Every structure is written in structure tokens, then in C-alpha cells.
């Protein structure tokens, strides 16, 4: 099936998408214009986001987020992001939501932003057939104190829409155990847990996230491949990796899709899934991820459907939602 023509229409399940990271650059430019903010430095001449490396990417990301100032901005953002995802065939999107960018972790403000995001999600479900669930995410380089406030926001709003808690940001800052209080609070509130690890940190960072925080999923986790004993352990535990191959290639962790470890991790029995991370920043979409994986590894529709079912199994939503999405995968 080289060429992958029918892949765009395959139903897809995405577990790792940052809501603000899905903001099309034109959308952010429009908000900047409305609010008279000058953030022109974060764009290249062709209008895309411009950054030198991962750490600069985080700065550009945060600069883009300064334009997102009200619940209404987030309602529009959510619709814009889900429109792109639905156009790629995504039927279920588990999306990272950051109270840091939604009113600065104030619980009252967070509830208002969340209401607006939910309103957009309900509209998208009706009009585009895509289901969104949220995973509240703290940001590692903002430090453990802010993460605690984020965890309180998560615990206050845990339920059928906010289903999980996670951590993103600069993996080189601090250690997973610094965030234990936040993860314990989220778990006590009934939230399921995931953590970014094994993207910029090596295998030890994956071990630390699993052992110290007790997460059942790892964001990225691909650098576990550098320690095959760890790969076996992850496979045996059934820890799920939210793999974002295009993100890893664009940020330079691997030179191209062919040399990305997703296929080897899959062969070794690790539960891998496919996601985009921050699609416009990395010039990708779910459809493009599938096309590139088809080209690199000759993965066919059967393989992609198997991975979509694996992702749905690992999703944090309730059983009724899973049953509804499962029907779409079988259709
Ligand atoms: N926040 C948004 N994208 C991220 C990534 N790829 N790694 C860590 N934090 C992020
Ligand atoms: Zn991420």
C-alpha cells in the first residue's frame, strides 16, 4: 500500500495533542492583531512558527500563548484544532489542557476556560463527529509549586471530561519525584496518569516516571529503546507509549521516520500509539504521520487499525465513550 492514498480516511485515535500546540499560526496571528500584540518574531517569512531547537520551541510556544487571553479565545482555539484533527480522520482526541495558560492556575478562572473548551468540544462532536477528552497538564520547567496549583485545578474538575493528569515541558529540569504530590493528588481525585519522559531524557527518565509517579502511559518514551531491559519491562507492564514520530523527527531526536524506533518498539511488544504533539509547530497532521509511517515501514490499514484499537484501550475516558468510538473503528 505504498503511497497510502486511503489512510487519510481511516478512523484515528489520538492520545497526545497539546491544545495550544495545535493552534494554527494564522489563528495566533489573528488573535495578536485583535489584541494589538507584537509577536511577529515567532514567525518565519512563510508564516509558520520559527524556532531553533526544542528549548527555543518552548519559548515560541509560550509567546504564542500570550495571545490566548479569554475563555472565548480558547473556545475558538478548540474548534480550530478539532477541525484540523477531524479533517485527518481523528474520531477521538485526548488533549492536554494547561491551566497555566488558562487564567494562571486560578481555580475559578480555570472553570470558566474549561466551560468554553467543553462548549466547543460539544459543538465539534455534533458537527464534525470528533470526541474530545482533556488531560490537565502541569509544566515541568514552571516548577513543583505551580504544578501543585495545576493539580488542584485538575482535582476540582475531574470527571467525565477531564479524565487524566500529566506533565509536559522541559524534561531536563528537576526530576519526576519532585512532582509526586501533584500526581498523588490527581490520582486521589480519580484521574489517570501520564508523563512526558524519554524524549530529551534517556531511558532512566522513563524508569523514573514509571517508578516514582506510577504513570500508566508515557508521553514519547521512545528513548527507552536505548535500554532493551527497560523495553522488556515496559512491554511486560503494559505501559503505553504516546509516540509522536513527526515531532521527534522535526526536533532532531531522529534523523528521519525510517530511523525512528516506533516500529522496533512495536515488534518488541511495547504498546505504541501514534500522535502529533503540536502539529502546526512540527508541520504535521495525523494523516501525514500515517503516510510517513506507511512509507517508512510499509504499515498497512490493518496495522493502523490495530494501533488505533490499542490507543482506544489506553484512553482515559469511560466505558460508554470507548464503546461509541470502538464502533467507529469497526465501521
Ligand atoms: N509541550 C508541548 N510540546 C512538548 C513536547 N514535545 N515536549 C515537552 N513539552 C511539550
Ligand atoms: Zn507533548
In the chain, % of residues over pLDDT 90: 98
Q: Please work out whether the CB of residue 247 comes within 6 Å of at least one atom of ligand 1.
A: yes
According to the model, what pLDDT value does residue 2 have?
A: 46
CA of 57 to the centre of ligand 2 (A): 12
pTM of the model as a whole: 0.98
**Phi, psi angles (nearest 5°) of residue 233:** -65, -45
Summarised one tens digit per residue, pLDDT across range 163-191 is 999 999 999 999 999 999 999 999 999 99
How many H-runs (helices) and E-runs (strands) does the chain carry? 13, 8
Ligand 1 atom closest to the CA of 139, numbered from 1: 9
Summarised one tens digit per residue, pLDDT across range 78-110 is 999 999 999 999 999 999 999 999 999 999 999
Alpha helix ranges (H) inside 25-140: 25-34, 54-65, 71-87, 107-128
Summarised one tens digit per residue, pLDDT across range 237-268 is 999 999 999 999 999 999 999 999 999 999 99
Quick one: pLDDT band at residue 113, thresholds 50, 70, 90? very high
Summarised one tens digit per residue, pLDDT across range 117-131 is 999 999 999 999 999
Residue 223 has pLDDT above 50, yes or no: yes
Query: Which ligand has the minimum distance to the alpha carbon of residue 60?
Result: 1
According to the model, what pLDDT value does residue 4 have?
A: 45
Task: Report the interhelical angle of 25-34 vs 71-87 (nearest 10°).
Answer: 160
Q: DSSP letters along 129-141, please?
A: --EEEEEEEEEGG
According to the model, what pLDDT value does residue 331 have?
A: 85
| Cell numbers at 26, concatenated | 494564522
CA of 17 to the centre of ligand 1 (A): 9
90-to-80, 98, 144, 169, 309 alpha-carbon distances in Å? 14, 22, 33, 25, 13
Query: Which ligand has the minimum distance to the alpha carbon of residue 54?
Result: 1
According to the model, what pLDDT value does residue 5 have?
A: 55
Class of domain 4-23+71-326: alpha beta
- Residue extent(s) of CATH 3.20.20.140 domains in the chain: 4-23+71-326
What is the rounded radius of gyration, in angstroms, for the C-alpha atoms of the chain? 18
Q: Write out the catalytic residue numbers.
A: 199
Residue 75 has pLDDT above 70, yes or no: yes
Average pLDDT, the chain: 97
Amino acid at each position: 500500500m505504498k503511497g497510502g492514498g486511503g489512510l487519510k480516511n481511516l478512523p484515528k485515535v489520538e492520545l497526545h495533542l497539546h491544545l495550544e500546540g495545535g493552534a494554527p499560526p494564522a489563528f495566533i496571528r489573528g488573535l495578536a492583531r485583535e489584541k494589538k500584540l507584537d509577536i511577529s518574531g515567532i514567525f518565519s517569512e512563510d508564516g509558520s512558527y520559527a524556532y531553533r531547537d526544542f528549548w527555543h520551541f518552548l519559548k515560541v510556544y509560550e509567546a504564542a500563548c500570550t495571545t490566548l487571553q479569554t475563555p472565548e479565545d480558547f473556545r475558538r482555539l478548540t474548534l480550530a484544532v478539532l477541525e484540523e484533527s477531524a479533517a485527518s480522520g481523528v474520531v477521538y482526541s485526548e488533549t492536554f489542557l494547561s491551566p497555566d495558560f488558562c487564567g494562571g492556575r486560578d481555580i475559578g478562572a480555570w472553570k470558566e476556560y474549561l466551560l468554553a473548551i467543553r462548549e466547543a468540544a460539544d459543538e465539534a462532536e455534533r458537527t464534525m463527529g470528533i470526541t474530545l477528552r482533556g488531560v490537565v497538564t502541569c509544566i515541568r520547567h514552571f516548577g513543583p509549586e505551580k504544578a501543585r496549583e495545576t493539580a488542584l485545578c485538575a482535582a476540582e474538575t475531574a470527571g467525565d471530561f477531564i479524565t487524566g493528569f500529566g506533565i509536559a515541558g522541559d524534561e531536563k529540569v528537576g526530576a519526576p519525584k519532585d512532582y509526586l504530590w501533584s500526581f498523588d493528588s490527581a490520582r486521589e481525585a480519580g484521574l489517570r496518569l501520564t508523563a512526558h519522559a524519554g524524549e530529551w531524557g534517556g531511558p532512566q527518565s522513563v524508569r523514573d516516571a514509571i517508578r516514582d509517579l506510577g504513570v500508566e502511559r508515557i508521553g514519547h518514551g521512545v528513548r527507552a529503546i536505548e535500554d532493551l531491559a527497560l523495553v522488556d519491562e515496559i512491554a511486560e507492564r503494559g505501559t503505553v507509549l504516546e509516540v509522536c514520530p513527526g515531532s521527534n523527527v522535526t526536533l532532531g531526536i531522529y534523523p528521519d521516520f525510517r530511523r525512528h524506533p516506533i516500529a522496533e518498539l512495536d515488534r518488541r511488544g511495547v504498546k505504541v500509539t501514534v500522535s502529533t504533539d503540536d502539529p502546526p509547530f512540527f508541520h504535521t497532521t495525523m494523516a501525514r504521520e500515517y503516510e510517513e509511517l506507511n512509507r517508512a515501514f510499509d504499515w498497512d490499514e490493518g496495522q493502523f487499525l490495530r494501533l488505533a484499537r490499542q490507543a482506544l484501550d489506553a484512553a482515559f475516558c469511560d466505558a460508554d465513550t470507548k464503546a461509541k468510538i470502538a464502533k467507529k473503528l469497526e465501521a
